[in-house]
Amino acid sequence: MRTLPIAFACAAAFCLSAAAGAQGVPDKRTLRIVPHADLRNIDPIWTTAIITRNHGYMIYDTLFAMDEGYMPRPQMVGEHEVSTDGLTFTFKLRRGLKWHDGKEVTAADCVASIERWMKRDTEAQGLVAVLAGIETTGADSFRIRLKEPYGLVLASLAKISSNVPFMMPERVARTDAMKQIEDTTGSGPFVFDKAAWRPGHTATYTRFAGYVPRNEPASMLAGGKVARVERVEWLYLPDPATQVAALNAGEVDLIEAPAIDLLPILKANADVRVGISDPLGMQVILRPNHLHPPFNHPKARQALYYLIDQAEYMRVMAGDQEFWSICDSLFMCGTPNATSAGAEMINKPDIEKARALFKEAGYAGEPVVVLYPTDHPSGPAAQVTADRLRKAGVNVDLQAMDWATLTTRRGSKNPPSQGGWNIFHTRTDAVSAMSPLANNPASSGCDKSWFGWACDPETEKLRLQWAREPEEAKRKAILETVQTRLYANGNFAVVGQYTMPGAHRVNVVGLIKSPVLALWNIEKR
């Protein structure tokens, strides 16, 4: 159990209190949260980092959104029609949509935003494969034309997790998809105060007075997004004990991902509530880099499976077993797409088998760079992997860094000795993992694949086939074939599945049950 010296705890609380006082903002009008990571990258199309996705939901809006039944519902769209042959989707924006600079949202903005999103998102590739065209039909209307029927158009536009098809002004959306945007103008319920942004410290958002919520109850990410506080501050506190001290002292209002071993301290405080906001939970994954030795060889990637004891990973990451489970499905256990196909070797650790496979792959003792984020929930997984690799005779170079640095570093295709990498770990939520098309590490499109750049054209063909197949039984069969190929190719490994408790002060009400940290509809009493 971690302990925090009282003097240090008081110092942390004083610093937060002093900062709040200096800003002169009434307490009930400002929501202060501790996010799970530091915000360094602000383009949710350029990166799939969850912290950047959460930032996106603060300032941008979407054409459609998923409700609590995981059904797509109109958000920025007011009216939409589908032609009888299923090949043309026509959309008209609802009234009152404005950008933070006061200009009206137009169809041209939306078309440009969709086009940029389609260049980066893995799920969007299913739509790209059947796309005949997308064009405006008026100042506030546009249409998507298909070459053949495709049942996931609305679901794709309502995608919950990275990359989310956030709408941006056309001038911003025309930015090269491989470069980060600099202009953070959105049309969502909050405005990002970029001038006050201090990476490594704070990110600040203010209520957008010009935002017109839908006249519907909030339902997960759909419905009315009502900003009930004037200001939201994200306070980056990398030390878990400092986070807990700040929440217990009332200097922050919410911790997105408190350390599991410190939950008893929070539960003992009558002014704090601990709970699960996403009952489906998250998977923790290990991703090898397919471009460079030793993991450019499939046998080295296969060796990783024989190193994994999910219970060991989860005890380190999630503590008590009430929060975690063992899972052999790449598409999330507990979902309709869960399957054990091809998973015969999963959770059957065998160090000597792994050692033999590394030898067959031609591993010659070169350093294997494992990226270790010291301020992210996936950090402990990197430490476990490093230990398991060493036991199999691998020369491990465990490189510590913050999560923001890792999310930039993982985009490098350079050799590990030149600033690249061999392995990193991350988390993915159920709504992303359960779909073969949305599941980022399942992508196998070589240079177009997700970080790690897995390359298997047959898997890509099957993923698109899954998305286009209307019959459920056939879709399930395709999914099982996809998973079998992913395991055989060693695309990635699941090291466990867990639910992530959050904590907040009792006077914070209106929290939305969602796999995404949604900060609208929340108020302080």
DSSP per-residue letters across 361-415: TT--S--EEEEEETTSTTHHHHHHHHHHHHHTT--EEEEEE-HHHHHHHTT--S-
* pLDDT higher than threshold 80 for residue 5: no
> Are 187 and 98 a contacting pair, CB within 8 Å?
yes
**Residue 395, preceding peptide bond in cis (omega within 30° of 0):** no
Flag whether 208 is in a domain.
Answer: yes
* pLDDT higher than threshold 90 for residue 233: yes
Number of helices followed by number of strands (H, E) in the chain: 16, 21
pLDDT at residue number 277: 83
Mean pLDDT (the chain, rounded): 93
How far, rounded to the nearest angstrom, does the alpha carbon of residue 224 sit from its chain's CA centroid? Answer: 23
Judgement on whether residues 304 and 393 belong to the same structural domain of the protein: yes
Judgement on whether residues 346 and 420 belong to the same structural domain of the protein: yes
The structure tokens 């998809």 sit at: 177
* pLDDT higher than threshold 60 for residue 22: no
Residue 524 exposure: Cα atoms within 13 Å on the Cβ side:
20
For range 440-459, the mean pLDDT: 95
* pLDDT higher than threshold 60 for residue 412: yes
Judgement on whether residues 290 and 409 belong to the same structural domain of the protein: yes
* pLDDT tens-digit readout, 129-157: 999 999 999 999 999 999 999 989 999 99
How far, rounded to the nearest angstrom, does the alpha carbon of residue 158 sit from its chain's CA centroid? Answer: 15
Judgement on whether residues 337 and 417 belong to the same structural domain of the protein: yes
From CA 271, how far away is CA 285, in angstroms rounded?
35
Angle at 179 between CA 173 and CA 184, to 5 degrees: 50
Judgement on whether residues 23 and 65 belong to the same structural domain of the protein: no
Containing H/E element for 501? strand 501-505
Count how many domains the chain has.
Answer: 3
Judgement on whether residues 377 and 356 belong to the same structural domain of the protein: yes
Strand partners, 274: 503
Closest CA to 498 of 403, 428, 411: 428
The structure tokens 């869960």 sit at: 338
Judgement on whether residues 396 and 507 belong to the same structural domain of the protein: no
Q: Supply φ then ψ for residue 508, to 5 degrees.
A: -90, 115
> Are 342 and 487 a contacting pair, CB within 8 Å?
yes
* pLDDT tens-digit readout, 452-467: 999 999 999 999 999 9
Domain finish residue from 173, 200, 233: 173
Judgement on whether residues 346 and 484 belong to the same structural domain of the protein: yes
* pLDDT higher than threshold 80 for residue 336: yes
Closest CA to 279 of 51, 499, 31: 499
> Are 427 and 283 a contacting pair, CB within 8 Å?
yes
From CA 460, how far away is CA 441, in angstroms rounded?
12
pTM of the entire predicted model = 0.87
* pLDDT tens-digit readout, 284-323: 999 999 999 999 999 999 999 999 999 999 999 988 888 8
From CA 511, how far away is CA 392, in angstroms rounded?
46
Provide CB contacts within 8 A for 51, sequence distance 6+.
35, 36, 37, 38, 39, 403, 404
From CA 294, how far away is CA 304, in angstroms rounded?
11
Of the two residues 15 and 175, the one the predictor is more confident about is 175
Judgement on whether residues 492 and 438 belong to the same structural domain of the protein: yes
Judgement on whether residues 326 and 403 belong to the same structural domain of the protein: yes
Question: SS3 of 292, please?
Answer: coil
Flag whether 183 is in a domain.
Answer: no
Judgement on whether residues 494 and 352 belong to the same structural domain of the protein: yes
Judgement on whether residues 387 and 480 belong to the same structural domain of the protein: yes
Enclosing domain of residue 409: 282-498
- CATH assignment at residue 359: 3.10.105.10
